[in-house]
């Protein structure tokens, strides 16, 4: 089945590292026009950009803090001035900063909520204006299974990801009349810079998996590519668990 993504304009927030980096590489291989967004990891963003343009010249990098309105507006305006439209927005930027609630300062709570939830709100508000004028678009929010089941020591992270689920369902109802889909994905355990050295979490994830293989990253990338294509134009307001773990 052909899921032609050639020349689709795709913005992936927080895409200099981790899942975002792999998403950018996957869209680049499909011939999409892509925007690498970064904030603090400029060197990593430059390395990714230099890697991508060797086989896909339709790529730009934009520094923007997704928690800052002016930066988000810059991200949006630069995308449109370069490519003329936006087809797919993947809200991937996210952080975790774990602590027990009795030991968690307010700033530790707010920072995670700001990046993971408020950042998605600001990006959706800015880019959906363009999508409404276009009369089409796809928004994909990267949530987490922690937003459904919670996790001790991660009240801030779990709350932010649970908020994304409610946000996704509500925004889908607002934007559906403009042929804009909004969906959320909850990946299984995927090794990233946030959890690379947490062998215990990886062990627990594999013990609960119904499958003997770990294909979480490739499954997530393939699902996002398919969801970004014109093969699923009528799917919106859904939360997809890309995982095989049993609770």
Q: Which pair of structure tokens corresponds to residue 234?
A: 């009528």
Report strand pairing: 88-91 vs 59-63.
Answer: unpaired
CB 44 within 8 A of CB 20: no
Alpha-helical runs (H) found in 55-188:
69-83, 106-113, 119-134, 146-149, 155-175
Cβ-based neighbours of 18, under 8 Å, separated by 6 or more:
192, 193, 194
Sheet holding 137-142, edge to edge: 59-63, 33-38, 9-12, 88-91, 137-142, 180-187, 239-242
Cβ-based neighbours of 195, under 8 Å, separated by 6 or more:
189, 201, 202
157 assigned to active site: yes
- Phi/psi-derived region of residue 185, left when phi > 0, alpha when psi is between -120 and 50, beta in every other case: beta
- Among 38, 49, 157, 178, the active-site one is 157
Rounded Cα distance between 182 and 79, Å, is 20
Rounded Cα distance between 49 and 56, Å, is 10
CB 152 within 8 A of CB 98: no
Rounded Cα distance between 74 and 212, Å, is 45
Q: Which pair of structure tokens corresponds to residue 55?
A: 């086989």
Catalytic residue list: 157
């Amino acid at each position: 089945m052909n899921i032609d993504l050639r020349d689709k304009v795709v913005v992936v927030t927080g895409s200099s590292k981790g899942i975002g980096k792999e998403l950018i590489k996957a869209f680049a291989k499909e011939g999409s026009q892509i925007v690498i967004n970064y904030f603090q990891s400029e060197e990593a963003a430059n390395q990714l950009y230099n890697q991508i343009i060797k086989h896909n010249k339709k790529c730009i990098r934009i520094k923007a803090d997704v928690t800052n309105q002016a930066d988000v507006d810059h991200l949006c305006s630069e995308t449109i001035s370069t490519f003329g439209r936006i087809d797919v927005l993947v809200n991937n930027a996210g952080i975790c900063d774990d602590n027990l609630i009795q030991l968690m300062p307010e700033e530790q709570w707010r920072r995670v909520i700001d990046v993971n939830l408020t950042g998605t709100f600001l990006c959706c508000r800015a880019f959906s204006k363009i999508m409404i004028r276009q009369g089409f678009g796809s928004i994909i929010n990267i949530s987490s299974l922690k937003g459904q089941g919670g996790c001790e020591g991660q009240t801030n992270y779990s709350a932010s990801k649970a908020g994304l689920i409610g946000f996704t369902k509500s925004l889908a109802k607002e934007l559906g009349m403009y042929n804009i889909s909004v969906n959320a994905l909850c990946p299984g355990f995927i090794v990233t810079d946030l959890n690379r050295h947490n062998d215990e979490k990886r062990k627990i994830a594999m013990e609960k998996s119904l499958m003997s293989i770990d294909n979480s990253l490739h499954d997530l990338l393939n699902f996002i590519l398919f969801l970004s294509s014109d093969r699923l134009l009528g799917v919106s307001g859904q939360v997809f668990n890309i995982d095989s773990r049993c609770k």
